[in-house]
Each structure stands twice: as C-alpha cells, then as structure tokens.
Amino acid sequence: MSTITHRGASLETPHAGDELLSMQEVADIVRVPIATLRYWRHLGSGPQSFRIGRSVRYWRSDVLQWLEKQSSHPHSTR
C-alpha cells in the first residue's frame, strides 16, 4: 500500500498500482451486457463502483474480488 503525504498528513492509497476500468471493460471481464452491470448497480449487488464526473468506474481488484466471492458464494450479494 502506498502512502501519500500532503501537508504533514499521511494518506493511505489502497488502490495504488491498481487499474481503473470502464463499464465496457468490466462487462467484458464478467461477460455480461452493460445493461446488466447497470441493473446490478441499481440493486447494489454487483462489483463496487463509483462515479468520476459522469463516468462510472471500477477498480480491477474490486471486480476480481467480487468475482471470487461469487464463485465461492453464488447466491450472496456484494
């Protein structure tokens, strides 16, 4: 985990070195239509996502963790 120092305060950056993914990239990885990702976002049951301006983004590590969780517990959410 990287640390950024800003005016004497230390901030942890848990996603340092991680990659931001678009909805299309996540849809390709998970192999579902973008509409399904949007629906999962609405339900709060898909991979963790967030907005940057008007774009929805995902951290690659969050998507892979979500996929791993789905393969271990296919009926659980988030």
pLDDT in tens, 61-72: 999 999 999 998
| Number of alpha carbons in the 13 Å side-chain half-sphere of residue 2 | 7
Q: Which residues have a Cβ under 8 Å from the Cβ of 43 and sit 6 or more positions away? A: 77
Task: Evaluate if pTM is beyond 0.85.
Answer: no
Q: Which domain holds residue 28?
A: 19-72
Q: What is the pLDDT of residue 41?
A: 95
* 39, part of any domain: yes
Residue 38 falls within a domain, yes or no? yes
Residues 6 or more apart whose Cβ sits within 8 Å of residue 7: none
Integer Cα distance of 75 and 62 in angstroms: 18
Q: Residue 37 maps to which CATH number?
A: 1.10.1660.10
Ranges of residues in the chain with a pLDDT under 70 are 1-11, 74-78
pLDDT reported for residue 2: 56
Per-residue pLDDT, 67: 95
- Position 55, amino acid: S
Give the number of domains in the chain.
1
Tell me the residue length of the chain.
Answer: 78
With respect to residue 51, please indicate whether it lies within any of the assigned structural domains: yes
